[in-house]
Amino acid sequence: MKKVAALIALALGALSLSACSAPTENTDGLSIVATTTQVTEFASTIVGSEGTVTGLIQPNQSAHSFDPSAKQLLQLSQADAVVMNGADLEPWLQDALDAANFQGEIIDASTGIELLAAGESEEDHAAHAEDEHNHGEGDPHVWTSPANAEVMVSNIAAGLTVLPEVTDQMKASFEANATAYNQQLTILDEWIVANFAQVPEAQRLLVTNHDAFTYFVDAYGITFLGSIIPSFDDNAEPSAAELDALIALINESGATAVFSESSISPKLAETIGTEAGVKVYSGEDALYSDSLGVAGSEGETYIKATIHNVTKLMEAWGYPVLPVPAELTS
């Protein structure tokens, strides 16, 4: 990390040289840096006008591997707190914090969430709780379940309220913002349940690019047939035998679609879909998993991205999508 430390020094030097001529940012309130697009949104919603939240990972970028720029390392060095997804999603973060000589607080949004292995339900997890054997690494994509997202929002709010810079007025604002957002997430969860209730469980089949929806499928009674990339890490590469096995499973199961994801190349999904003779959802129809979408897209917010995903699943399964509650469209 000597290289990134040197980049910080260069960035600091450039900042001091330009300070006299460049406009300065408003430094009132908290300075928060968040990792993923999801926790950036959660933190921004909670902080509101009481500070600035800067996201490291940009829309449609992978959360598994990331190389911060000199500017981002400088932002880390000046932050009051860093909000992370946790659950080992950001293996690069500690090196970045060390290089930036970060002195603030770290808020782990995944605190208290039971991690599940791919294809494991909460019931499976409970049954194995006393087992001494290792049942595989936990899926870090905890936010895919709106119920987990509520826990993450509450964790972030709790972490922010205890920062030494936070006043009683700011604390009240954070708590109110978190409560209002979690009410929306509850409505979102109820809307999803109502939609999927139309679909017999035997028809709720899902094939994706990589293992990213463990908590979503567990929450809503979906059968996850498998993923093209057999790993939580979207940089892994499947073998030919694994691809052949997945094609056979799709044909045997009666699945009607393969879903690409917005932050991953759709090429393999399109190949699998062609070989299996099923529709491929890619491009604007791809699911949002590791990242939210760009501004103006159907996945620009967590709620919009989740509505998009449910809409595409219902379309693939051949059932109508229920009207979206007004509380989620305002």
217-252 per-position pLDDT tens digit: 999 999 999 988 765 555 567 788 988 999 999 999
Task: Please classify residue 16 by burial: count the beta carbons closer than 10 Å to its beta carbon, then call 0-12 exposed, 13-18 middle and 19+ buried.
Answer: exposed
With H, G, I as helix, E, B as strand and everything else as coil, classify residue 185.
helix
Residues of the chain with pLDDT > 70: what percent? Answer: 84
> How many Cβ atoms from other residues are within 10 Å of residue 214's Cβ?
24
**Superfamily of chain region 199-328:** Nitrogenase molybdenum iron protein domain (3.40.50.1980)
With H, G, I as helix, E, B as strand and everything else as coil, classify residue 137.
coil
Residue 231 is predicted with a pLDDT of 56
The radius of gyration of the chain's CA atoms, rounded to the nearest angstrom, is: 21
Residue 122 has pLDDT above 50, yes or no: yes
| Fold agreement between 2-19+28-190 and 199-328 | yes
Residue 213 is predicted with a pLDDT of 94
> How many Cβ atoms from other residues are within 10 Å of residue 196's Cβ?
19
How far are the Cα atoms of 178, 229, 230, 244 from residue 241, in angstroms, in the given order? 46, 12, 12, 5
Q: Does domain 2-19+28-190 have CATH number 3.40.50.1980?
A: yes
Residue-range domain boundaries for the chain: 2-19+28-190, 199-328
Separation CA 283–CA 280 (nearest Å): 10
